[in-house]
């Protein structure tokens, strides 16, 4: 009995030992498998720092002279676009004093005219009525004068009373007034009371350019009514109306000076002053109308596109470098600044205008600070680096 129990215990111990050995082998196998590289996996990535694209090495940096950027006081500027428009205070309508049919038009839209120049001729019934009234007034005045002379003679012979003489005198005086008024009406229409003429000539009231025409030969014209037959504009001074964005309105003030350049004449600069800033903002594009008054030498045409540069009344400090230090490439501006280890760094900047008093210097509006060193001839250095 003891022998059987011993045998059974030995078997159980053996089974436990076998299970433990298999478990250890399985764990060891899994550990080895995890440590072993996976077949087909990509190699480990290695990061390699690329050289800076804007940094260039040169063998002899002393061959490229340097200059320090300086400061320059300048007034604030704002560049906008606009159009040439007529000064409405210089627009003079041509008013017809008589109604009728246009017999002839002696000028055309766009023509330059002088004060007193004949514009058109009208045949009018108003003239016929005017001459009829005038002739009747003259006849009545003659009759009144004859009656007055007869009354004076009768009064001197005691045939009538003084009251009758005074009545005759009053009738004569009123007849003269009627004649004068009828004659003045004909003169107002441009006709001579003593020469029968049933047409009215319309003359230019001022010198200028015909900027609007509403009549042609054979059309009808109404006296003192719109549309007026012609509009004459004095273009010796014009307006330039510009659109200024809402965010830029604080930089524009009435009285600021402005330089105007025409697209048709980019080399000529006209000067004007801001006379009005619109009170109403365009809700669509968020701009206000700014009006500039400009003297017109004769080449500005209504509707021309312009470029206006506003010069503010306050000064700002701008960075200045030699104009040759600015490299223009692909519609962008760059300068070269020195870097350690015989290197130069190409820095992008925003170039401004050349100084009017010294065109060899150029403004830099951003990207460079006063005191920084720059290569004085960027084109030469760029050419060397390209080789």
pLDDT the model gives residue 212: 92
pLDDT the model gives residue 204: 93
pLDDT the model gives residue 8: 46
Q: Which two tokens stand for residue 109?
A: 């839209």
pLDDT the model gives residue 184: 85
Per-residue pLDDT averaged across 43-55, rounded? 55
Cα R_g (the chain), whole angstroms? 49
- How does pLDDT run across 174-213, given as a tens digit for each residue? 999 998 998 888 887 777 787 877 888 889 999 999 999 9
* pLDDT > 70 fraction of the chain, expressed in percent and rounded: 85
The end-to-end CA distance of the chain, in Å, is 105
- The DSSP secondary-structure symbol of 37 reads P
- How does pLDDT run across 75-90, given as a tens digit for each residue? 677 889 999 999 988 9
Q: How far apart are CA 349 and CA 140, in angstroms?
A: 92
Q: Do strands 332-339 and 343-355 pair parallel, antiparallel, or not at all (unpaired)?
A: antiparallel
Question: What contacts 99, CB < 8 A, 6 or more positions away?
Answer: 124, 125, 126, 220, 221, 222, 223
- The DSSP secondary-structure symbol of 263 reads S
Residue 58 confidence (pLDDT) above 90? no
C-alpha distances (whole Å) from 60 to each of 67, 68, 335, 341 are 17, 20, 18, 11
Contact by Cβ (8 Å): 92, 313: no
Residue 1 confidence (pLDDT) above 60? no
Range in 6-15, 224-233, 237-246, 349-358 the model is least confident about: 6-15
- How does pLDDT run across 69-122, given as a tens digit for each residue? 998 877 677 889 999 999 988 999 999 888 889 999 999 998 999 999 999 998
pLDDT the model gives residue 44: 52
Residue 326 confidence (pLDDT) above 80? yes
* pLDDT > 90 fraction of the chain, expressed in percent and rounded: 38
pLDDT the model gives residue 39: 52
- How does pLDDT run across 273-321, given as a tens digit for each residue? 999 999 999 999 999 999 999 999 889 999 999 999 987 766 777 899 9
pLDDT the model gives residue 273: 93
Question: Other C-beta atoms within 10 Å of 18: how many?
Answer: 10
Question: What contacts 122, CB < 8 A, 6 or more positions away?
Answer: 96, 98, 100, 101, 102, 103, 199, 200, 202, 221
- How does pLDDT run across 13-46, given as a tens digit for each residue? 455 554 544 544 444 444 444 444 445 555 553 4
Tokens 């206000």 correspond to 288
User: Residues in the chain, how many?
Assistant: 387
Chain centroid to CA 345? 40
Burial of 145 (0-12, 13-18, 19+ CB in 10 A): middle
């Amino acid at each position: 009995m003891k022998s059987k129990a011993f045998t059974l215990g030995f078997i159980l111990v053996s089974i436990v030992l076998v299970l433990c050995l298999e478990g250890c082998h399985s764990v060891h196998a899994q550990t080895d498998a995890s440590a072993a590289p996976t077949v087909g996996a990509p190699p480990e990535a290695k990061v390699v720092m690329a050289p800076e694209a804007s940094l260039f090495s040169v063998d002899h940096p002393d061959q490229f002279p340097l200059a320090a950027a300086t400061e320059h006081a300048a007034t604030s500027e704002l560049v906008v676009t606009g159009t040439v428009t007529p000064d409405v205070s210089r627009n003079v309508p041509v008013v017809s004093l008589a109604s009728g049919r246009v017999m002839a038009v002696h000028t055309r839209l766009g023509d330059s005219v002088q004060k007193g120049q004949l514009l058109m001729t009208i045949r009018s019934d108003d003239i016929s009525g005017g001459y009829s009234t005038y002739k009747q007034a003259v006849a009545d005045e003659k009759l009144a004068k004859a009656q007055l002379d007869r009354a004076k003679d009768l009064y001197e012979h005691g045939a009538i009373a003084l009251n009758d003489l005074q009545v005759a005198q009053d009738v004569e005086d009123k007849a003269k007034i009627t004649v004068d008024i009828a004659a003045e009406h004909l003169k107002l229409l441009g006709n001579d009371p003593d020469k029968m003429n049933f047409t009215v000539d319309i003359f230019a009231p001022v010198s200028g350019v015909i900027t609007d025409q509403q009549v042609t030969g054979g059309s009808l014209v109404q006296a003192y009514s719109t549309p007026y037959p012609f509009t004459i504009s004095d273009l010796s001074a014009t307006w330039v109306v510009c659109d200024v964005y809402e965010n830029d309105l604080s930089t524009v003030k009435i009285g600021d000076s402005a330089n105007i350049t025409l697209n048709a004449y980019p080399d000529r600069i006209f000067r004007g002053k801001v006379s009005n800033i619109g009170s109403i903002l365009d809700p669509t594009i968020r701009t206000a109308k700014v009006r500039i008054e400009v003297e017109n030498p004769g080449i500005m045409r209504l509707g021309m596109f312009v470029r206006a540069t506003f010069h503010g009344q306050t000064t700002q400090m701008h960075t200045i470098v030699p104009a040759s230090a600015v490299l223009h490439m692909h519609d962008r501006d760059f300068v070269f600044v020195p870097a350690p280890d015989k290197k130069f760094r190409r820095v992008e900047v925003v170039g401004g205008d050349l100084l009017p008093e010294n065109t060899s210097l150029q403004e830099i509006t951003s990207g460079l600070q006063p005191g920084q060193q720059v290569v004085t001839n960027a084109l030469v250095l760029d050419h060397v680096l390209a080789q």
